Amino acid sequence: MSRHSVGLIGGGQVARAHIVGFGNIPLFYGPLQTAEVKTVAEATDALASDAASRLGVPHWTSDWKQVVSDPAIEIIDVLTPTYLHKDPAIAAMEKGKAVICEKPLAATEADAREMYEVAKSRKATTLVGFNYRRVPAVTLAKEMIASGRIGRIQHVRSHFMEDWGGPNFPLTWRFQAEKAGAGALTDLGSHALDMVRYLVGEPTEVCGVAANFVPERVPSGGSKPLRSDVDDLTVAILRLDGGAVAEVSASWVSLGRKVQLDFEVQGTEGTLYFSMERPNELNFYSAGDPKTEQGFRQVYFGPSHKYGSSLLFSSATMGTGYVDSMTNQMRDFIDALEKGTECAPSFYDGWRVSRIISAILESSRNKSWVAL
């Protein structure tokens, strides 16, 4: 049996999903691998002690450097606001730790690149939290595209649209460019861009429009509106190596869209469509079907697919969801750590997505195409 000890840096919203993700590994995959979260670092003593009790973590500290230097901790999991990813992640790699870091990798491309360079020189095992890659229907889409099932890819549509970010949503770090990098584009669009790279290939050129509809927001508990200087909606067009064209949108002001991380990949032999609002279904159209039977069919995720052992019952459509993608992600990371193999998406992928984000923002500012 292998046991791996984990230290969390940051105990906010996404920390809950990581705790469930680590905790479910033995339930989903058998008791031979476990990852125990031993400690959580937060910004202050009060926040740290509260996070430890909410998350069920035995130790806490308000100094992340203590966690990173603790020889008993093998994996550092960075879950702070985006501008605070770089320092703990680099310090952890310099101490020889394996590092998981939430997406986007950093608030600037320069920081993301530095993190990737340290990972490369230290040969660190790293993972950036593009967890939707491990929703089984998404993994299946990747396998079908890679095996040529829908032919040569011509057109990709990849979106991440939600509807919580209207003018009544309070100001947090997410609405400040220096802390978040950008707005909907970094928060949601980073996942949509990762989908394009993961499913089809690397962008070579981008053109985008980043729009701010809510220039001021009131912080929680405050009364005075402060500046919100990030995009609430970004739309981009990308040329991909291999010739395909992609459209990407990210928005938190799309009324009625709850977690519409969706994509459609159209090839010369067929089309695939997925939406995270229906995570156990992959829609598949094959031009090879008899003319009288043509139409989209729904493929239901089940035990015969990758990650099928994560199903609690052996029926297709009994389903997995967001937190299960976290368990699959943590388990694959631990597997890579044990076997000494590459883990993806790594800090390299995190840096590439940050590079694309910065090019889209540049394109929007200058009203021009930007080469990558």
Ligand X SMILES: NC(=O)c1ccc[n+]([C@@H]2O[C@H](COP(=O)([O-])OP(=O)(O)OC[C@H]3O[C@@H](n4cnc5c(N)ncnc54)[C@H](O)[C@@H]3O)[C@@H](O)[C@H]2O)c1
Residues making contact with ligand X (CB under 6 A): 9-14, 41-43, 47, 64, 79-82, 84, 102-103, 129, 131, 187
Write the single-letter amino acid at 322: Y
Q: Which of 303, 320, 267 is nearest to 144 (CA)?
A: 267
Helix axes 189-199, 347-366, angle to 10 degrees: 120
Nearer to ligand X, 102 or 281 (CB): 102
Position closest to ligand X via CB: 12
The C-alpha angle 12, 14, 211, rounded to 5 degrees, equals: 100
Q: What is the smallest separation between the CB atom of 3 and ligand X, expressed in angstroms?
A: 24
Nearer to ligand X, 240 or 334 (CB): 334
Q: What is the smallest separation between the CB atom of 286 and ligand X, expressed in angstroms?
A: 32
Q: What is the smallest separation between the CB atom of 172 and ligand X, expressed in angstroms?
A: 7
Pairing type for strands 245-251 and 233-240 reads antiparallel
- Strand arrangement of the beta sheet that strand 126-128 belongs to: 59-61, 33-41, 2-9, 75-78, 98-101, 126-128
Nearer to ligand X, 113 or 133 (CB): 133
Q: Going by C-beta distance under 8 Å and a sequence separation of 6 or more, which residues neighbour residue 311?
A: 302, 303, 318, 319, 320
Q: What is the smallest separation between the CB atom of 299 and ligand X, expressed in angstroms?
A: 24
Q: Is 36 helix (H, G, I), strand (E, B) or coil?
A: strand
Q: Which of 367, 326, 276 is nearest to 130 (CA)?
A: 326
Nearer to ligand X, 87 or 264 (CB): 87
Residue 331 near residue 28, CB atoms below 8 Å: yes
Q: What is the smallest separation between the CB atom of 318 and ligand X, expressed in angstroms?
A: 23
Nearer to ligand X, 12 or 302 (CB): 12
**Which residue, chain included where needed, has tokens 């000494």?**
340
Write the single-letter amino acid at 242: G
Nearer to ligand X, 11 or 203 (CB): 11
Nearer to ligand X, 46 or 146 (CB): 46
Q: Which of 233, 138, 144 is nearest to 194 (CA)?
A: 138
Q: What is the smallest separation between the CB atom of 290 and ligand X, expressed in angstroms?
A: 41
Nearer to ligand X, 24 or 82 (CB): 82
Nearer to ligand X, 80 or 108 (CB): 80
- Residue ranges of the alpha helices (H) in the chain? 13-23, 25-29, 45-55, 64-69, 86-94, 109-122, 136-146, 177-180, 184-187, 189-199, 322-339, 347-366
Q: What is the smallest separation between the CB atom of 85 and ligand X, expressed in angstroms?
A: 6
Count the residues in the chain: 372
Nearer to ligand X, 42 or 111 (CB): 42
Neighbour tally for 190: CB within 10 Å: 28
The CA distance from 78 to 84, in Å, is 9
**Which residue, chain included where needed, has tokens 């993608």?**
325
The C-alpha angle 131, 282, 330, rounded to 5 degrees, equals: 20
